[in-house]
Amino acid sequence: MIGDPVALTVRRRIERPSAALVARFAGLPTGFVTDATSGAGAMSYRVKPIDPQMSFTGVAVTAFCPAMDNLAVMAALGFVQPGDVIVVGTQGQEAAGIIGDLWATGAKLRGVRALVTDGLVRDMPGLLKVGLPIFAIGHNPNSAFKNGPGTVNLPITCGGVAVAPGDIVVGDRDGVIVVPRLEAEAVAERLEAVKKKEAEMEAIMASAAGKTRSFWSEEQATARGGVRYVD
């Protein structure tokens, strides 16, 4: 590398989806959203809520923090709007917690909807008391530095999934899924079909027909290569 790295690179203005579009995803299980995105878009199973009851829907503000550093996620609070979800890529670093309860308090006061990271957090008793939805791979009391280099509102990878600022992010007990902003309208349309199908299946399973409802098709399996019975 020639010269010293820039401590922080920030995009101050991002394009966000409309509030009406984001609302179409609110309150839906992540399983519904993945079904509407062809079964893809979910982060690593390791990214989970610190309280299983936590859930959220919001718009991504992204940050990248290298190992043992949290400058970018600290700075990100200066560029949020109510309803945003701060998504922090760390490349899976496990050396220190990137945020604690004081940061979570500040984020909640600014209207931040949630924090998602493929790194660690700290101050668990305080985080649970604040009540901001926090999704991470774990927790560790080590503290990070504020040196950089880091980024705010540039594309990142978090939990193995590409995330761009302005994407719609949904999280619940099952995990976190990212819906790219430019695809969100189409995904929302498919969600209507998913909800209808799920309602129909629930009605079937609640009826007498549920006892004999098959979860596979022998005819389709035969068409794809056949079924071999060995009894």
Whether residue 205 is contained in a domain is answered as no
Q: What are 202-219's pLDDT values in tens digits?
A: 777 778 777 777 788 888
Q: CB of 119 within 8 A of CB of 88?
A: yes
Distance, in Å, from the CA atom of 208 to the CA atom of 230, rounded to the nearest integer, reads 31
225 in a domain, yes or no? no
Q: How many domains does the chain have?
A: 1
CATH code at position 181: 3.50.30.40
Dihedral angle of Cα 7, 9, 13, 19, to the nearest 10 degrees: -90
pLDDT, tens digit, for every residue of 92-145?
A: 889 999 999 999 999 999 999 999 999 999 999 999 999 999 999 999 999 999
Q: Is residue 196 part of a domain?
A: no
Residue 179 pairs with which residues in a beta bridge? 168
Domain extent at residue 69: 8-190
Burial of 113 (0-12, 13-18, 19+ CB in 10 A): buried
67 located within any domain: yes
The pLDDT value recorded for residue 217 is 85
Answer whether residue 94 is part of any domain. Answer: yes
Structure tokens at 45: 């199973």
Q: Where are the alpha helices (DSSP H) in the chain?
A: 19-23, 30-36, 71-76, 101-109, 124-130, 184-206, 218-223
Name the more confident of 201 and 115: 115
